[in-house]
Amino acid sequence: MSLNAESTAFRSALEVIRAVEPRVADAIGAELADQRESLKLIASENYASPATLLAMGNWFSDKYAEGTVGRRFYAGCQNVDTVEALAAEHARELFGAAHAYVQPHSGIDANLVAFWAILADRVESPALKKAQVRQVNELTEADWFALRRELGNQRMLGMSLDAGGHLTHGFRPNISGKMFDQRSYGTDPATGLVDYDKVAEAAREFKPLILVAGYSAYPRKVNFRIMREIADEVGATFMVDMAHFAGLVAGKVFTGDFDPVPHAHIVTTTTHKSLRGPRGGMVLCGPELADQVDRGCPMVLGGPLPHVMAAKAVALAEARRPDFADYAQRIVDNAQALADGLLRRGAKLVTGGTDNHLVLIDVSGYGLTGRQAEQALLDSGIVTNRNSVPQDPNGAWYTSGIRIGTPALTSRGLGTAEMDATAELIHNVLTQTTPGSNPDGTPSKAKYVLDPALADKVSGQASELLTGFPLYPAVDLG
Protein backbone atom coordinates (compact mmCIF):
# COMPACT_ATOMS: atom_id res chain seq x y z
CA MET A 1 0.00 0.00 0.00
CA SER A 2 1.51 3.34 -1.06
CA LEU A 3 1.77 6.17 1.44
CA ASN A 4 0.52 9.68 0.81
CA ALA A 5 2.98 12.56 0.49
CA GLU A 6 2.60 13.78 4.08
CA SER A 7 3.19 10.37 5.63
CA THR A 8 6.16 9.72 3.38
CA ALA A 9 7.68 13.10 4.23
CA PHE A 10 7.38 12.80 8.00
CA ARG A 11 8.36 9.11 8.14
CA SER A 12 11.44 9.82 6.06
CA ALA A 13 12.38 12.78 8.23
CA LEU A 14 12.13 10.71 11.41
CA GLU A 15 14.22 7.92 9.88
CA VAL A 16 16.98 10.39 9.06
CA ILE A 17 16.84 11.88 12.57
CA ARG A 18 16.75 8.45 14.20
CA ALA A 19 19.99 7.48 12.51
CA VAL A 20 21.75 10.29 14.40
CA GLU A 21 19.86 10.64 17.70
CA PRO A 22 16.99 8.17 18.14
CA ARG A 23 15.85 9.79 21.38
CA VAL A 24 14.98 12.98 19.51
CA ALA A 25 13.02 11.01 16.92
CA ASP A 26 11.18 9.23 19.73
CA ALA A 27 10.34 12.54 21.43
CA ILE A 28 8.96 13.97 18.17
CA GLY A 29 6.76 10.93 17.67
CA ALA A 30 5.64 11.01 21.30
CA GLU A 31 4.69 14.68 21.00
CA LEU A 32 2.39 13.94 18.08
CA ALA A 33 0.83 11.04 20.02
CA ASP A 34 0.30 13.22 23.11
CA GLN A 35 -1.31 16.00 21.08
CA ARG A 36 -3.58 13.54 19.33
CA GLU A 37 -4.85 12.15 22.63
CA SER A 38 -5.48 15.32 24.67
CA LEU A 39 -8.00 18.12 24.58
CA LYS A 40 -5.76 21.07 23.80
CA LEU A 41 -7.45 24.17 25.20
CA ILE A 42 -4.46 26.49 25.55
CA ALA A 43 -5.60 29.69 23.87
CA SER A 44 -2.16 30.52 22.50
CA GLU A 45 -1.60 27.13 20.81
CA ASN A 46 -2.79 25.65 17.54
CA TYR A 47 -1.85 23.09 14.90
CA ALA A 48 0.12 24.29 11.89
CA SER A 49 -0.54 22.54 8.59
CA PRO A 50 1.84 19.82 7.31
CA ALA A 51 2.91 22.22 4.56
CA THR A 52 3.81 24.88 7.12
CA LEU A 53 5.70 22.40 9.30
CA LEU A 54 7.64 20.99 6.36
CA ALA A 55 8.59 24.47 5.16
CA MET A 56 10.69 24.87 8.32
CA GLY A 57 12.84 21.78 7.80
CA ASN A 58 15.07 22.64 4.85
CA TRP A 59 18.26 24.30 3.64
CA PHE A 60 17.04 27.83 4.39
CA SER A 61 18.04 27.04 7.97
CA ASP A 62 21.68 27.15 6.85
CA LYS A 63 21.60 30.73 5.53
CA TYR A 64 22.54 34.01 7.18
CA ALA A 65 20.52 36.94 5.83
CA GLU A 66 20.96 40.07 7.95
CA GLY A 67 19.38 43.08 6.31
CA THR A 68 16.21 43.25 4.24
CA VAL A 69 15.11 42.15 0.79
CA GLY A 70 17.70 43.36 -1.74
CA ARG A 71 19.90 44.88 0.98
CA ARG A 72 21.71 42.03 2.71
CA PHE A 73 25.00 41.97 4.57
CA TYR A 74 25.68 38.47 3.21
CA ALA A 75 25.96 37.33 -0.39
CA GLY A 76 23.85 34.60 -1.93
CA CYS A 77 20.50 35.59 -0.38
CA GLN A 78 18.43 35.69 -3.55
CA ASN A 79 16.26 32.76 -2.49
CA VAL A 80 15.79 34.19 0.99
CA ASP A 81 14.68 37.42 -0.69
CA THR A 82 12.05 35.43 -2.55
CA VAL A 83 10.45 33.83 0.52
CA GLU A 84 10.68 36.97 2.67
CA ALA A 85 9.08 39.07 -0.07
CA LEU A 86 6.32 36.47 -0.49
CA ALA A 87 5.61 36.40 3.26
CA ALA A 88 5.46 40.20 3.40
CA GLU A 89 3.22 40.34 0.32
CA HIS A 90 0.77 37.82 1.78
CA ALA A 91 0.75 39.72 5.09
CA ARG A 92 0.04 43.07 3.43
CA GLU A 93 -2.78 41.64 1.33
CA LEU A 94 -4.26 39.60 4.18
CA PHE A 95 -4.41 42.46 6.68
CA GLY A 96 -4.66 45.46 4.36
CA ALA A 97 -1.40 46.91 5.69
CA ALA A 98 0.93 49.27 3.84
CA HIS A 99 4.07 47.56 5.13
CA ALA A 100 4.91 44.19 6.68
CA TYR A 101 8.11 43.10 8.41
CA VAL A 102 8.23 39.32 8.80
CA GLN A 103 11.64 38.76 10.40
CA PRO A 104 10.82 38.78 14.16
CA HIS A 105 11.45 35.43 15.81
CA SER A 106 8.61 35.84 18.33
CA GLY A 107 5.94 38.19 19.57
CA ILE A 108 8.35 39.69 22.10
CA ASP A 109 10.82 40.38 19.30
CA ALA A 110 8.07 41.99 17.23
CA ASN A 111 7.14 44.24 20.15
CA LEU A 112 10.77 45.23 20.70
CA VAL A 113 11.10 46.15 17.03
CA ALA A 114 7.95 48.27 17.32
CA PHE A 115 9.09 49.97 20.53
CA TRP A 116 12.46 50.94 19.11
CA ALA A 117 10.95 52.02 15.80
CA ILE A 118 8.59 54.35 17.67
CA LEU A 119 11.37 55.68 19.87
CA ALA A 120 13.62 56.34 16.89
CA ASP A 121 10.79 58.06 15.05
CA ARG A 122 9.40 60.11 17.93
CA VAL A 123 12.13 61.01 20.39
CA GLU A 124 13.77 64.30 19.49
CA SER A 125 17.17 64.25 21.17
CA PRO A 126 20.58 65.33 19.88
CA ALA A 127 22.06 61.99 20.91
CA LEU A 128 19.45 60.02 18.99
CA LYS A 129 19.80 62.17 15.89
CA LYS A 130 23.55 61.67 16.07
CA ALA A 131 23.08 57.91 16.41
CA GLN A 132 20.88 57.87 13.32
CA VAL A 133 23.37 59.65 11.09
CA ARG A 134 26.75 58.48 12.40
CA GLN A 135 28.45 55.15 12.80
CA VAL A 136 27.94 53.59 16.22
CA ASN A 137 31.67 53.61 16.91
CA GLU A 138 31.73 57.40 16.47
CA LEU A 139 29.40 58.01 19.41
CA THR A 140 31.09 59.15 22.60
CA GLU A 141 30.32 57.85 26.06
CA ALA A 142 28.52 61.13 26.73
CA ASP A 143 26.40 60.54 23.62
CA TRP A 144 25.45 57.09 24.87
CA PHE A 145 24.62 58.43 28.34
CA ALA A 146 22.32 61.07 26.86
CA LEU A 147 20.71 58.52 24.58
CA ARG A 148 20.05 56.04 27.39
CA ARG A 149 18.62 58.76 29.59
CA GLU A 150 16.35 60.07 26.85
CA LEU A 151 15.04 56.69 25.73
CA GLY A 152 14.72 55.32 29.26
CA ASN A 153 12.45 58.15 30.37
CA GLN A 154 9.70 57.59 27.81
CA ARG A 155 6.23 56.58 28.98
CA MET A 156 4.01 53.65 28.01
CA LEU A 157 0.36 53.04 28.93
CA GLY A 158 -0.96 49.49 28.49
CA MET A 159 -3.48 47.02 29.86
CA SER A 160 -2.65 45.65 33.31
CA LEU A 161 -1.53 42.05 33.59
CA ASP A 162 -4.41 40.94 35.79
CA ALA A 163 -6.93 42.57 33.43
CA GLY A 164 -5.60 40.49 30.54
CA GLY A 165 -2.57 42.44 29.30
CA HIS A 166 0.79 40.92 28.38
CA LEU A 167 4.21 40.99 30.04
CA THR A 168 5.66 42.80 27.03
CA HIS A 169 3.35 45.78 27.55
CA GLY A 170 5.59 47.35 30.15
CA PHE A 171 5.82 44.98 33.12
CA ARG A 172 8.96 44.90 35.22
CA PRO A 173 10.05 41.28 34.64
CA ASN A 174 10.16 42.03 30.90
CA ILE A 175 12.60 44.33 29.12
CA SER A 176 9.70 46.61 28.18
CA GLY A 177 9.23 47.41 31.88
CA LYS A 178 12.87 48.40 32.14
CA MET A 179 12.82 50.48 28.94
CA PHE A 180 9.75 52.55 29.79
CA ASP A 181 8.16 54.46 32.61
CA GLN A 182 4.99 52.37 32.52
CA ARG A 183 1.48 52.73 33.84
CA SER A 184 -1.46 50.36 33.38
CA TYR A 185 -5.15 50.72 32.69
CA GLY A 186 -7.45 48.05 34.05
CA THR A 187 -11.06 47.01 33.57
CA ASP A 188 -14.31 47.93 35.28
CA PRO A 189 -14.46 45.98 38.58
CA ALA A 190 -18.17 45.26 38.10
CA THR A 191 -18.11 44.08 34.48
CA GLY A 192 -14.51 43.17 33.72
CA LEU A 193 -14.75 45.30 30.55
CA VAL A 194 -12.40 48.04 29.36
CA ASP A 195 -13.66 51.42 30.54
CA TYR A 196 -12.62 53.76 27.72
CA ASP A 197 -13.38 56.87 29.78
CA LYS A 198 -10.95 55.64 32.43
CA VAL A 199 -8.33 54.89 29.78
CA ALA A 200 -8.73 58.43 28.45
CA GLU A 201 -8.37 59.87 31.95
CA ALA A 202 -5.18 57.88 32.53
CA ALA A 203 -3.79 58.97 29.17
CA ARG A 204 -4.50 62.65 29.83
CA GLU A 205 -2.81 62.47 33.22
CA PHE A 206 0.17 60.27 32.25
CA LYS A 207 0.71 61.56 28.68
CA PRO A 208 2.42 58.43 27.34
CA LEU A 209 4.59 58.30 24.26
CA ILE A 210 3.00 54.91 23.43
CA LEU A 211 -0.56 53.74 24.10
CA VAL A 212 -0.71 49.95 23.80
CA ALA A 213 -3.86 47.94 23.17
CA GLY A 214 -4.11 44.18 22.83
CA TYR A 215 -4.26 41.33 25.30
CA SER A 216 -3.50 37.73 26.13
CA ALA A 217 -6.40 37.01 28.48
CA TYR A 218 -9.22 39.49 27.79
CA PRO A 219 -12.27 37.65 26.43
CA ARG A 220 -13.89 40.58 24.64
CA LYS A 221 -13.38 42.80 21.60
CA VAL A 222 -11.54 46.10 21.90
CA ASN A 223 -12.78 49.20 20.10
CA PHE A 224 -9.62 50.38 18.36
CA ARG A 225 -11.27 53.46 16.89
CA ILE A 226 -11.88 54.82 20.39
CA MET A 227 -8.38 53.86 21.50
CA ARG A 228 -6.89 55.71 18.53
CA GLU A 229 -8.93 58.80 19.40
CA ILE A 230 -7.50 58.67 22.93
CA ALA A 231 -3.97 58.33 21.56
CA ASP A 232 -4.46 61.24 19.18
CA GLU A 233 -5.81 63.45 21.94
CA VAL A 234 -2.63 63.09 23.99
CA GLY A 235 -0.22 62.84 21.07
CA ALA A 236 0.69 59.20 21.67
CA THR A 237 1.69 56.61 19.12
CA PHE A 238 -1.03 53.95 19.10
CA MET A 239 0.34 50.41 19.04
CA VAL A 240 -1.76 47.23 18.97
CA ASP A 241 -0.46 43.78 19.87
CA MET A 242 -2.91 41.46 18.11
CA ALA A 243 -0.92 38.27 18.67
CA HIS A 244 -3.85 36.40 20.18
CA PHE A 245 -6.59 37.43 17.79
CA ALA A 246 -4.70 37.92 14.50
CA GLY A 247 -6.55 34.96 12.99
CA LEU A 248 -9.88 36.63 13.76
CA VAL A 249 -8.68 39.78 11.99
CA ALA A 250 -7.33 37.77 9.05
CA GLY A 251 -10.59 35.83 8.82
CA LYS A 252 -12.63 39.06 8.86
CA VAL A 253 -14.44 38.17 12.06
CA PHE A 254 -13.10 41.38 13.59
CA THR A 255 -13.86 44.25 11.23
CA GLY A 256 -14.55 47.99 11.41
CA ASP A 257 -13.80 49.43 14.84
CA PHE A 258 -12.52 46.02 15.99
CA ASP A 259 -9.90 45.60 13.25
CA PRO A 260 -6.73 47.26 14.60
CA VAL A 261 -4.89 47.68 11.30
CA PRO A 262 -6.80 50.74 9.97
CA HIS A 263 -6.62 52.47 13.35
CA ALA A 264 -3.17 51.77 14.80
CA HIS A 265 0.09 53.45 13.86
CA ILE A 266 1.80 50.09 14.26
CA VAL A 267 0.56 46.53 14.83
CA THR A 268 2.50 43.53 16.09
CA THR A 269 1.52 39.88 16.10
CA THR A 270 2.71 36.35 16.38
CA THR A 271 2.18 34.07 13.42
CA HIS A 272 0.99 31.05 15.39
CA LYS A 273 -1.95 31.10 17.84
CA SER A 274 -5.21 31.81 15.96
CA LEU A 275 -3.29 32.56 12.74
CA ARG A 276 -2.23 28.88 12.65
CA GLY A 277 1.29 29.41 11.32
CA PRO A 278 4.82 28.74 12.58
CA ARG A 279 6.07 30.13 15.86
CA GLY A 280 7.27 33.63 14.99
CA GLY A 281 6.39 37.31 14.91
CA MET A 282 5.53 40.10 12.49
CA VAL A 283 5.12 43.88 12.44
CA LEU A 284 2.62 45.83 10.30
CA CYS A 285 2.79 49.59 9.90
CA GLY A 286 2.30 52.56 7.60
CA PRO A 287 5.00 54.09 5.42
CA GLU A 288 5.98 56.63 8.09
CA LEU A 289 7.43 53.90 10.33
CA ALA A 290 8.50 51.42 7.66
CA ASP A 291 12.15 52.48 7.46
CA GLN A 292 12.59 52.26 11.22
CA VAL A 293 10.82 48.90 11.42
CA ASP A 294 13.04 47.47 8.67
CA ARG A 295 16.04 48.20 10.90
CA GLY A 296 14.83 45.50 13.29
CA CYS A 297 17.89 43.51 12.29
CA PRO A 298 20.48 44.37 13.58
CA MET A 299 18.82 46.94 15.90
CA VAL A 300 16.99 44.33 17.98
CA LEU A 301 17.11 41.01 16.14
CA GLY A 302 19.93 38.71 15.23
CA GLY A 303 20.01 37.01 11.88
CA PRO A 304 16.56 36.31 10.42
CA LEU A 305 15.39 32.71 10.28
CA PRO A 306 14.78 32.12 6.57
CA HIS A 307 13.25 28.68 7.10
CA VAL A 308 10.65 30.17 9.46
CA MET A 309 9.98 33.03 7.03
CA ALA A 310 9.33 30.37 4.37
CA ALA A 311 6.83 28.74 6.72
CA LYS A 312 5.23 32.14 7.41
CA ALA A 313 4.76 32.62 3.67
CA VAL A 314 3.01 29.25 3.44
CA ALA A 315 0.77 29.87 6.45
CA LEU A 316 -0.17 33.39 5.32
CA ALA A 317 -1.01 32.04 1.87
CA GLU A 318 -3.28 29.49 3.57
CA ALA A 319 -4.93 32.28 5.59
CA ARG A 320 -5.81 34.10 2.37
CA ARG A 321 -7.95 31.17 1.21
CA PRO A 322 -11.74 31.49 1.58
CA ASP A 323 -11.98 28.57 4.00
CA PHE A 324 -9.86 30.41 6.57
CA ALA A 325 -12.67 32.93 7.12
CA ASP A 326 -14.99 30.03 7.92
CA TYR A 327 -12.38 28.63 10.31
CA ALA A 328 -12.03 31.98 12.10
CA GLN A 329 -15.78 32.30 12.57
CA ARG A 330 -15.98 28.76 13.94
CA ILE A 331 -13.30 29.63 16.51
CA VAL A 332 -15.59 32.32 17.94
CA ASP A 333 -18.72 30.16 17.65
CA ASN A 334 -16.95 27.40 19.56
CA ALA A 335 -15.64 29.75 22.25
CA GLN A 336 -19.12 31.15 22.83
CA ALA A 337 -20.61 27.64 22.96
CA LEU A 338 -17.94 26.60 25.46
CA ALA A 339 -18.64 29.68 27.58
CA ASP A 340 -22.40 29.06 27.45
CA GLY A 341 -21.89 25.43 28.48
CA LEU A 342 -19.80 26.44 31.46
CA LEU A 343 -22.23 29.17 32.53
CA ARG A 344 -25.18 26.77 32.42
CA ARG A 345 -23.27 24.50 34.78
CA GLY A 346 -22.61 27.29 37.24
CA ALA A 347 -19.06 28.34 36.36
CA LYS A 348 -17.99 31.92 37.00
CA LEU A 349 -16.51 33.54 33.87
CA VAL A 350 -14.63 36.83 33.71
CA THR A 351 -16.89 39.33 31.85
CA GLY A 352 -19.62 36.67 31.84
CA GLY A 353 -18.72 35.25 28.42
CA THR A 354 -16.57 35.89 25.35
CA ASP A 355 -16.48 37.71 22.01
CA ASN A 356 -13.28 36.11 20.79
CA HIS A 357 -11.32 32.87 20.98
CA LEU A 358 -10.80 32.57 24.72
CA VAL A 359 -12.71 32.04 27.94
CA LEU A 360 -11.39 32.92 31.39
CA ILE A 361 -12.79 30.84 34.26
CA ASP A 362 -12.59 32.23 37.79
CA VAL A 363 -11.98 28.94 39.59
CA SER A 364 -12.31 30.50 43.04
CA GLY A 365 -15.98 29.60 42.59
CA TYR A 366 -14.86 25.97 42.80
CA GLY A 367 -12.74 26.71 45.88
CA LEU A 368 -9.52 26.24 43.91
CA THR A 369 -6.50 28.20 42.79
CA GLY A 370 -5.57 28.32 39.13
CA ARG A 371 -2.57 26.11 39.77
CA GLN A 372 -4.68 23.41 41.42
CA ALA A 373 -7.27 23.53 38.64
CA GLU A 374 -4.65 23.47 35.87
CA GLN A 375 -2.98 20.33 37.20
CA ALA A 376 -6.23 18.52 37.98
CA LEU A 377 -7.44 19.13 34.42
CA LEU A 378 -4.10 17.97 33.01
CA ASP A 379 -4.40 14.75 35.02
CA SER A 380 -7.75 14.32 33.26
CA GLY A 381 -6.49 14.77 29.69
CA ILE A 382 -7.49 18.45 29.38
CA VAL A 383 -4.61 20.84 28.68
CA THR A 384 -5.17 24.42 29.89
CA ASN A 385 -3.11 27.09 31.62
CA ARG A 386 -3.64 29.01 34.82
CA ASN A 387 -4.08 32.75 34.46
CA SER A 388 -4.69 35.78 36.64
CA VAL A 389 -8.15 37.31 36.88
CA PRO A 390 -8.80 41.02 37.60
CA GLN A 391 -7.70 41.97 41.13
CA ASP A 392 -6.45 38.42 41.61
CA PRO A 393 -5.86 37.68 45.31
CA ASN A 394 -3.54 34.78 44.47
CA GLY A 395 -1.11 36.74 42.31
CA ALA A 396 0.44 35.76 39.01
CA TRP A 397 1.95 32.42 40.11
CA TYR A 398 -0.91 30.56 41.77
CA THR A 399 -3.67 32.71 40.18
CA SER A 400 -7.42 32.34 40.52
CA GLY A 401 -8.17 31.64 36.87
CA ILE A 402 -7.95 29.12 34.07
CA ARG A 403 -7.63 30.40 30.51
CA ILE A 404 -9.06 28.19 27.79
CA GLY A 405 -9.28 28.76 24.04
CA THR A 406 -10.72 27.13 20.96
CA PRO A 407 -8.29 27.66 18.01
CA ALA A 408 -6.67 24.22 18.28
CA LEU A 409 -9.84 22.16 18.77
CA THR A 410 -11.47 24.11 15.94
CA SER A 411 -8.55 23.14 13.71
CA ARG A 412 -9.37 19.51 14.50
CA GLY A 413 -12.96 20.05 13.38
CA LEU A 414 -14.77 20.01 16.71
CA GLY A 415 -17.96 22.07 16.74
CA THR A 416 -20.40 23.60 19.18
CA ALA A 417 -21.85 20.25 20.32
CA GLU A 418 -18.38 19.05 21.28
CA MET A 419 -17.77 22.33 23.11
CA ASP A 420 -20.75 21.64 25.34
CA ALA A 421 -19.39 18.17 26.05
CA THR A 422 -16.00 19.73 26.83
CA ALA A 423 -17.65 22.13 29.26
CA GLU A 424 -19.19 19.13 31.01
CA LEU A 425 -15.80 17.44 31.37
CA ILE A 426 -14.16 20.59 32.74
CA HIS A 427 -16.98 21.16 35.20
CA ASN A 428 -16.89 17.56 36.38
CA VAL A 429 -13.18 17.71 37.14
CA LEU A 430 -13.33 21.08 38.90
CA THR A 431 -16.31 20.17 41.06
CA GLN A 432 -14.60 16.93 42.15
CA THR A 433 -11.25 18.55 42.96
CA THR A 434 -10.58 19.86 46.45
CA PRO A 435 -7.64 21.86 47.85
CA GLY A 436 -4.86 19.90 49.51
CA SER A 437 -2.80 20.68 52.59
CA ASN A 438 0.85 21.30 53.31
CA PRO A 439 2.73 18.84 55.57
CA ASP A 440 2.06 21.11 58.56
CA GLY A 441 -1.68 20.99 57.89
CA THR A 442 -2.02 24.50 56.53
CA PRO A 443 -3.98 25.01 53.28
CA SER A 444 -1.92 24.68 50.11
CA LYS A 445 -2.34 26.80 46.99
CA ALA A 446 -0.67 24.14 44.86
CA LYS A 447 -1.70 20.74 46.21
CA TYR A 448 -5.08 19.25 45.43
CA VAL A 449 -7.09 16.06 45.85
CA LEU A 450 -8.73 14.34 42.87
CA ASP A 451 -9.83 10.73 42.74
CA PRO A 452 -7.51 9.03 40.19
CA ALA A 453 -10.43 6.92 39.00
CA LEU A 454 -12.36 10.05 38.07
CA ALA A 455 -9.31 11.53 36.33
CA ASP A 456 -8.92 8.33 34.31
CA LYS A 457 -12.62 8.31 33.45
CA VAL A 458 -12.58 11.91 32.21
CA SER A 459 -9.37 11.30 30.31
CA GLY A 460 -11.06 8.39 28.56
CA GLN A 461 -14.10 10.53 27.79
CA ALA A 462 -11.85 13.25 26.37
CA SER A 463 -10.10 10.70 24.18
CA GLU A 464 -13.43 9.33 23.01
CA LEU A 465 -14.62 12.85 22.17
CA LEU A 466 -11.60 13.29 19.91
CA THR A 467 -12.02 9.97 18.13
CA GLY A 468 -14.07 11.45 15.30
CA PHE A 469 -11.67 14.37 14.85
CA PRO A 470 -8.22 12.92 14.16
CA LEU A 471 -5.24 15.27 14.31
CA TYR A 472 -3.17 15.32 11.11
CA PRO A 473 -5.23 12.50 9.60
CA ALA A 474 -3.02 12.46 6.51
CA VAL A 475 0.07 11.73 8.62
CA ASP A 476 0.68 8.05 9.41
CA LEU A 477 3.96 7.44 11.21
CA GLY A 478 3.42 3.71 11.24
Q: Round the average pLDDT of the chain to a whole number and report it.
A: 92
How many helices (H) and strands (E) in the chain?
20, 16
* Rg (the chain; Cα; Å): 23
Contacts of 149 (CB under 8 A, 6+ apart): none
Percent of the chain past pLDDT 70, that is, above it, reads: 92
Q: Which burial class, exposed, middle or buried, applies to 218 when counting CB atoms under 10 A from its CB (0-12, 13-18, 19+)?
A: buried
Q: What is the pLDDT of residue 136?
A: 47
Domains and CATH numbers, the chain: 59-123+154-319 (3.40.640.10), 322-466 (3.90.1150.10)
pLDDT band at 150; cut points 50, 70, 90: low
Q: What is the pLDDT of residues 341-389, one digit of tens each?
A: 999 999 999 999 999 999 999 999 999 999 999 999 999 999 999 999 9
- pLDDT of 314 above 70: yes
pTM: 0.91
Q: What is the pLDDT of residues 99-127, one digit of tens each?
A: 999 999 999 999 999 998 998 877 655 55
Q: How far is CA 77 from the centre of its chain?
A: 30
- pLDDT of 151 above 80: no
- pLDDT of 36 above 70: yes
| Cα angle for residues 110, 315, 462 (degrees, 5° grid) | 100
Q: What is the pLDDT of residues 233-261, one digit of tens each?
A: 999 999 999 999 999 999 999 999 999 99
At 89, which amino acid appears?
E
The catalytic site residues sit at 64, 66, 241, 270, 273, 279
Torsional sign, CA 339, 343, 348, 353: positive
Max Cα-Cα span within the chain: 73
Q: What is the pLDDT of residues 388-439, one digit of tens each?
A: 999 899 998 999 999 999 999 999 999 999 999 999 999 999 999 999 998 8
State how far the Cα of 198 lies from the Cα of 327, in Å rounded to an integer. Answer: 35
